[in-house]
Chain A
Amino acid sequence: MKDLIGLKTSIGEKIESALNAQIKVEAHSSSIYLAMASWCDYQGYDFSSDFFLEQADEERAHMMKIFHYVKNRGGKAVSPEVVNVPQDFESFRSVFEQALEQEMHVTKQFNNLADLCFKEKDFVTFQFLQWFLEEQVEEEYTMRRAIELFDVIGEEGTGAWDIDKHIPKITFDRG
């Protein structure tokens, strides 16, 4: 019998669904960072606001990278519905703590995806995921460094102002 499914798409149903779920996670992350950027700007933390705007753009770029991959392999990329985006945050520090939690969640999702690729023997998609897995090391590092600034500098007096000024200076050395 002619393999009609194989002629139409090169990715399996499970992998396609998992990648579409990841598209949604990236879109959600982008929206959360956008909300964080707005909150920081409203509180007067200009540099942090710019930092989160950049993060929001990055997450959207990640989303589009997966989106294009799904359609290029013959799958159906789904434009995600984004809901439950927090608009208010407890404190300056909690914004970064939530951002780190979000990145850890994203890393976990990519790990699960990589695991699924092994189970489904889809090594092409596994290869595609390598870039994201490496990227997550940088994402988590950046957020952890930002949180450490709160301990190193302290928020008392002009501390918060100083922390904000140092946020864009965080760099990641890939070695």
Chain B
Amino acid sequence: MICELVKLEEVYRTKDGAVLQCNNKNCFWLEFAGNHTAFRVQDFLQFKKTVDQIDLEDMLIDSSRASDYTLLMPFRTQRCFLLDVTQLLALKEILQGAMFMLELNSLLKACLTDKPMVSHN
């Protein structure tokens, strides 16, 4: 997916990355770990769910070397993420923040388009 970067709207940003929205292609861009990854809406929602389900406490308690990193391979992207706990925390923060802003945007849209009830009294 190719989007003109100038036309991207910033949804949420932290010092570790950001989520951007492309209104032309109806997609999201994740800016993280030095790369940009495009997601279709449903894939973005699924990716967030996958990240949410990662048990960080479990990763910290487990002493095996394999549990130090988590491999994330989002579908329909040419990217894979190999992340440690700190990076996962940062990613979770970005995705949760973005989700909050997107929900807030939906709410605001709904409020602005709601027609006031007309009183005949």
Contacts and interface: CB of A to CB of B under 8 A. Distances in A.
Interface of A: 1-9, 12-13, 76
Nearest to B40: A8
25 contacts: A1-B11, A1-B21, A1-B23, A1-B105, A2-B21, A2-B26, A3-B102, A3-B106, A3-B109, A4-B21, A4-B23, A4-B26, A4-B27, A4-B102, A5-B41, A5-B106, A6-B106, A6-B109, A7-B26, A8-B42, A8-B45, A9-B42, A12-B103, A13-B45, A13-B99
Contacts of B42: 8-9, 76
Contacts of B41: 4-5, 7-8
| Size class of the contact patch on chain B | 10 to 19
B45 A2 contact: no
Per DSSP, are chain B's interface residues mostly helix, strand or loop, or mixed?
helix
Interface in B78-113: 99, 102-103, 105-106, 109
Contacts of A5: 41, 45, 102-103, 106
A7 B44 CA distance: 14
A76 B50 CA distance: 13
Interface of B: 9, 11, 21, 23, 26-28, 41-42, 45-46, 49, 99, 102-103, 105-106, 109
Contacts of A1: 9, 11, 21, 23, 105
A84 to B, nearest CB: 20
A9 B41 CA distance: 9
Find the residue from A5, A12, A13 having the highest chain B CB count within 10 A.
A5
Nearest to B27: A4
B30 to A, nearest CB: 14
Given A3-B109, A6-B109, A13-B99, 6 more contacts: A4-B23, A4-B27, A4-B102, A7-B41, A8-B42, A8-B45
Contacts of A8: 41-42, 45
Contacts of B106: 3, 5-6
- Per CB-CB distance, the 7 closest pairs between chain A and chain B, nearest first, are A8-B41, A2-B23, A3-B109, A6-B106, A3-B106, A5-B102, A4-B41
A124 to B, nearest CB: 14
Contacts of A9: 42, 45
Contacts of A13: 45, 49, 99
A3 B105 contact: yes
A23 B27 CA distance: 29
B14 to A, nearest CB: 18
Nearest to B41: A8
A1 B98 CA distance: 13
Contacts of B102: 3-5
A122 to B, nearest CB: 13
B64 to A, nearest CB: 24
